[in-house]
Amino acid sequence: TDAEDDTTTLSLAIQSDVEGAVETEWGIDGDGLASSTVFLEVGIHNLTVVVTDSNGATAETSVSVEMLGPNTDPECEVVSPNSGEWFEVGELIEFVGFVSDAEQSLQELSVEWSDQDGVLTTSTPDANGNLIANIPLLEGTRQVSMQVSDPYGGLCSIELEVNVGIAPTLTVRSP
């Protein structure tokens, strides 16, 4: 705000310690809220915003921002079981996986296990990216997928097939 000038007539400039003067167009509303979109190089920038009124009086404030590069997808792997393995109906199947992400912490990743009938469970990776999900599956050939997503839309998905059934019985009637 300014005592002499309407807020929409104030002049704003932004300076980066990395890139120098940053060219941008500012929008200032009647309440004095200024907004702009700027594109900066990847890295940490100390930005200084200077507002100037019609008499040349100025005020400034500074902020430090970190500009990140483009988001990359997380990586994921199912360590066990192997695709095609057979399990008994009612058995709790241990699914072991590994996840990683170049930009996000492991705690920011969302891990979901599902099959053709829908979501089975979710997992949280440990500090090394390992995760375990103990899941009972319905009888039949099951297409199980592990889907890992990060908060910025990155996605990794892997699918495997496991077979769930009833083991045959064998009776020996004579030696």
Q: What is the pTM of this model?
A: 0.66
3-state secondary structure of 154: coil
Q: At residue 2, does pLDDT exceed 70?
A: no
- Closest residue by Cα to residue 107 from 74, 61, 80, 70: 74
Beta strands in 72-138 (DSSP E): 75-80, 86-88, 92-100, 110-115, 118-123, 130-136
User: pLDDT, tens digit, for every residue of 40-63?
Assistant: 999 999 999 988 888 888 889 999
Residue 104 or 111, more confident? 111
- Closest residue by Cα to residue 108 from 124, 120, 130, 121: 124
Q: At residue 102, does pLDDT exceed 70?
A: yes
Cα–Cα distance measured from residue 109 to residue 106, given in angstroms and rounded to the nearest whole number = 5
Residue 170 or 161, more confident? 161
- Closest residue by Cα to residue 153 from 85, 75, 83, 73: 73
